[in-house]
Structure 1
Amino acid sequence: MYKKAEFASLSPSDFELPSCGKLSASNRWVKMAQVIPWSEFESEYAENFPTEMGAPAKSWRMALGALIIKEKLGISDRETVEQIRENPYLQYFIGQSSYSNELPFDPSLLVHFRQRISPNLINKLNERMVEKMREITHVKTEKKKDSDAKNESPNRGKLIIDATCAPADISYPTDLGLLNGARVHTEKIIDILYKPLKGQIPKKPRTYRNLARIDYLLIAKQRRPTRNKRRQAIKKQLQYIKRNLAHIEQLIDGGASLKDLNKKQYKTLLVLTEVYRQQQWLFDNDKQSIEDRIVSLSQPHIRPIVRGKAGKSVEFGAKLSASCFEGYVFLDRMSWDNFNESGDLKAQVEAYHRFTGYYPESVHADRIYRTRSNRAWCKERGIRISGPPLGRPPANVSKEKKKQAAYDERIRNAIEGKFGQAKRRFGLNRVMAKLDNTSGTVIAITFLVMNLATWWRRVFCMFLCLFGKRTPIFGWKIIYYYNWGQAIQKKLIFNRD
């Protein structure tokens, strides 16, 4: 059952504190709560509760607000609940009407919040939120003359696109380590299935688990085992797993029921069967890759993403395709399988057109995006793609073209900085969620939180701008020049007055 929150549009002055005080309207959590469109997407969240029976669910603002707080502060689920309990501004942010020293909800509910809030819903919320932010921080520009207006291009703005990978929290997968883990799981399943048949079957199936572990450690402890030794160890582990899977089938035929396994154990059994099939095929054909290769037993949806980066040629996680303009970043596509990001350029440009009402003046992208079809498509719409033209480079390049190429590359670095911010500051370098749907929610929330941080930094700079124009600081005055399409530039000049 879901009931609409009564305090969805609560103002900070109405929040009741035990000391009869009031919340500060200039606090960052109060300001961020004002730009998030809580009520616009509450009905879509309420569709998760079609029946009116049962206890009332937590409100949409509480669910989303708790996820935003967790990613903004970079803390665990338990610490998130404790921080909310101790901080009245966080309680206001999640929609409470008064301060309470009790836990707002159990930390385990954050898992259900991530399951109920889909990445698509967060992306729509992110777009609507950025619209409100652009209205607040909009800077009016002087009107151009009529002669300039006639020659003005209908395209405006700069769109930056790129792709990256969000690594998951798994150990580095090796064939031998993966098979050893699969063998251990099959032994546990045999123990569970044999327990109700104890006494009916004369002898428990023999698994040779101690010998199998010794065979694994003999190679795993070696710093650089030879290829033949590694293949021999893989062959032994495959034989152990094959014997264990045969024992599981015998136990089922002998009266054991798969109902003795819980949902997670049954899913693990299916994963183990597929892992054995893939590894046996790789061993028999002496190959290094196979389609839909499983690299983690606990997270079988993760695939290896070949990136070709220095130091990390392969990453294991979700591949993301993102776009950035005016300092705000959007998640356009997320997939657990590898894909060619050049095919997303047209969709990203059209999304920019739907959001702003006009096509971008230029698209700044990596070399992989500069295909012939993408160039021709952009040329029809008057869009310039950054980078040199196709074909052999000319012998003599003018200074203007060199400056333009360097300028385009500097602009493209903005999205690389956004990826660095997401991975170093907001934990996108290791996604801790274990399920595929909850991992997608965490990734989408990260982009939303980055836009909130960008907007708050701009609002804070606007305040410093007004303060710096009037107050000299130790003989220096801060002068800010605003250009929302690029980074904010600031200069210090000496105040001789």
Structure 2
Amino acid sequence: MQPKKSDRQRSFLCPDLIDQLDPRNHLLGLAKAIPWQVFEDSFRPLYATSGRPAKPVRLMVGLLILKQLENLSDERVVEIWVQNPYFQAFCGQQRFTWKLPCDPSELTYFRRRIGEDGVRKIFEVSVTLHGDKAKEEEVVVDSTVQEKNITFPTDAKLLSKIVTRCRIMAKQEDVKLRRSYQREVKKLLRVIRFKSKGRKQGEAQRAIKRLRTIAGVLIREMKRKLSSEALEAHQQSLDLYDRVQRQQRSDSNKIYSLHEPGVSCISKGKAHKKYEFGAKASVTVTKTSGIIVGALSFHDNPFDGHTLPAVLTQVESIVGQRPTMAICDRGYRGKRQIGPTRIEIPESGKGPKTKHEKRKARERFRRRAAIEPIIGHFKSDHRMMRNYLKGRIGDSVNLFMACTAFNFRKFIRLLYFLCPKFLWHIFRPNVRPVRACA
């Protein structure tokens, strides 16, 4: 059911929570600048007209913003909300309360309710908050990897998990296995752990081969002995286990995690981290102001140059105008023109160019390097270092919210460090004096 609207009147004897706090606080200034009614209008069709009243939209959207803004988990942001009056005022609370605003799991349900389109709406608001500064003709585009919350994949880990899950499945469906292989698997894992290097590598390879055989035996036995109803319920899981058990080192489209089968293996040429397991994320930043105006998540590790048409189309739909120039690194080599947008890539100093053109190109690509610390900041400060949200939709949701938090943090810095006097005149409180009792 749609959330109820608060119609509480202001009182002189009991002022609202926002009137008792410091009006110069950055969260209060940000809360007054955000158009909350946009979210109310956009998410109203997602609620039913009957049933139990839902939590207020501003409360849920505010918790999502605070979660990314302060780099907190769902559980932690709910706990701090009870302790911090500025968190409560940011989410529209009129009285300070000691109760939890919601169960942490309700944030998961709310993300599912609004979906990728709803989170994109929050990101669009963070872009429009900067006004004309976000409408630049030249943008900088770069890609990074949003790592998933999975362990480093190895054949031994995946096969041992398949064996364990098959035993659990057999216990749930009351299927008696011909052999559980529990003791043998334990010995094989010990051999793989301590003899994977040195002169006894052959023993570790034979142990992995034997582990693969055991996983295949259990998968086939479960398919034979499960009833038709149970087989239909577990068919997707068994097909996934069978695919992992059969895949080889040189195969393409491999499975690297059983609970996140959509994870890709991406190599960005880093010396300290050869491979990263997650999804490729493309980020678009304005050249001069450094505002994130585009964020798009891709799967199956596409070539960077092939992602540019979708990236530029997204920027046009969010900002309202198509950039005339996109500045990229050499990973985007290929096309030099996509529609009206020119693609600029660093080149060698040789060529029929004047000194003025060479100097402009050098300044442009020096400015392009500014996107690297931006990516580092919203990775380390806004929960992009590791993605804990499930599925491919979770990749897009986490990317949009991280970029939203970065834009809001940039807006706060502009207000509170560049024009504090102007901010005081805009957000000064309108508190009426309370008469003292005679």
- Structure 1 residues 331 and 172, CA gap change in structure 2 (3 angstroms): farther
Spell out the pairing of 1:53-452 with structure 2 (5 A cutoff). 53-134=50-131, 157-194=137-174, 205-222=178-195, 224=197, 228-253=202-227, 258=230, 270-282=236-248, 287-291=249-253, 293-325=254-286, 326-356=289-319, 358-371=321-334, 374-377=335-338, 381=340, 383=342, 385-388=344-347, 394=350, 399-452=355-408
- Structure 1 residues 301 and 377, CA gap change in structure 2 (3 angstroms): closer
- Cα deviation code 1:338-392 (max 9, x no counterpart): 1122123234344444555555453211113232xx31446xx474624227xxx
- Structure 1 residues 413 and 119, CA gap change in structure 2 (3 angstroms): farther
- Structure 1 residues 7 and 415, CA gap change in structure 2 (3 angstroms): farther
- Structure 1 residues 116 and 275, CA gap change in structure 2 (3 angstroms): same
Q: Which residue of 2 aligns with 1:152?
A: none
- Structure 1 residues 95 and 205, CA gap change in structure 2 (3 angstroms): farther
Amino acid at match of 2:142: D
Distance 1:33 1:410 in 2: 35
| Kept after mapping to 1: 8 A contact 2:337/2:343 | no
- Cα deviation code 1:306-325 (max 9, x no counterpart): 33333223211121112111
Residue 24 in structure 1 maps to residue 22 in structure 2: yes
| Kept after mapping to 1: 8 A contact 2:296/2:311 | no
Distance 2:388 2:309 in 1: 32
More displaced 10-residue stretch of structure 1: 89-98 or 398-407: 398-407
- Cα deviation code 1:56-110 (max 9, x no counterpart): 1112211111111111111222221111111121112122221111111112212
Amino acid at match of 1:84: W
SS in 2 for 1:62: helix
The structure number with the bigger radius of gyration is: 1
Structure 2 regions of 5+ residues with no counterpart?
424-438
- In the TM superposition, residue 21 of structure 1 has moved relative to its aligned partner by 5.5
| Kept after mapping to 1: 8 A contact 2:158/2:244 | no
| Kept after mapping to 1: 8 A contact 2:295/2:399 | no
| Kept after mapping to 2: 8 A contact 1:164/1:320 | yes
- Structure 1 residues 103 and 350, CA gap change in structure 2 (3 angstroms): closer
Count, aligned residues: 416
Distance 1:123 1:15 in 2: 36
| Kept after mapping to 1: 8 A contact 2:285/2:294 | no
| Kept after mapping to 2: 8 A contact 1:364/1:411 | no
Root mean square deviation, CA, Å: 3.2
- Structure 1 residues 21 and 4, CA gap change in structure 2 (3 angstroms): closer
- In the TM superposition, residue 229 of structure 1 has moved relative to its aligned partner by 3.6
TM-score by length of 2: 0.84
Amino acid at match of 1:290: S
Distance 2:209 2:15 in 1: 66
SS in 1 for 2:331: helix
- Structure 1 residues 322 and 290, CA gap change in structure 2 (3 angstroms): same
Point out which structure has higher relative CO (alpha carbons under 8 A, 6+ apart). Answer: 2
| Kept after mapping to 2: 8 A contact 1:65/1:93 | yes
- Structure 1 residues 342 and 108, CA gap change in structure 2 (3 angstroms): same
Structure 1 regions of 5+ residues with no counterpart?
139-154, 198-202, 468-497
- Structure 1 residues 422 and 21, CA gap change in structure 2 (3 angstroms): closer
| Kept after mapping to 2: 8 A contact 1:179/1:238 | yes
SS in 2 for 1:117: helix
Distance 2:32 2:422 in 1: 22
Amino acid at match of 1:245: I
Distance 1:85 1:343 in 2: 46
SS in 2 for 1:317: strand
- In the TM superposition, residue 219 of structure 1 has moved relative to its aligned partner by 0.9
| Kept after mapping to 1: 8 A contact 2:282/2:311 | no
SS in 2 for 1:172: coil
| Kept after mapping to 2: 8 A contact 1:320/1:331 | no
TM-score by length of 1: 0.75
- Structure 1 residues 82 and 15, CA gap change in structure 2 (3 angstroms): farther
Distance 1:122 1:337 in 2: 23
Distance 1:362 1:303 in 2: 30
Q: Which residue of 2 aligns with 1:45?
A: 43
Distance 1:236 1:127 in 2: 53
Residue 459 in structure 1 maps to residue 425 in structure 2: no
Q: Which residue of 2 aligns with 1:487?
A: none
Distance 1:437 1:309 in 2: 27
| Aligned-residue identity in percent | 25
More displaced 10-residue stretch of structure 1: 236-245 or 272-281: 272-281
Amino acid at match of 1:6: S
Distance 1:243 1:353 in 2: 54
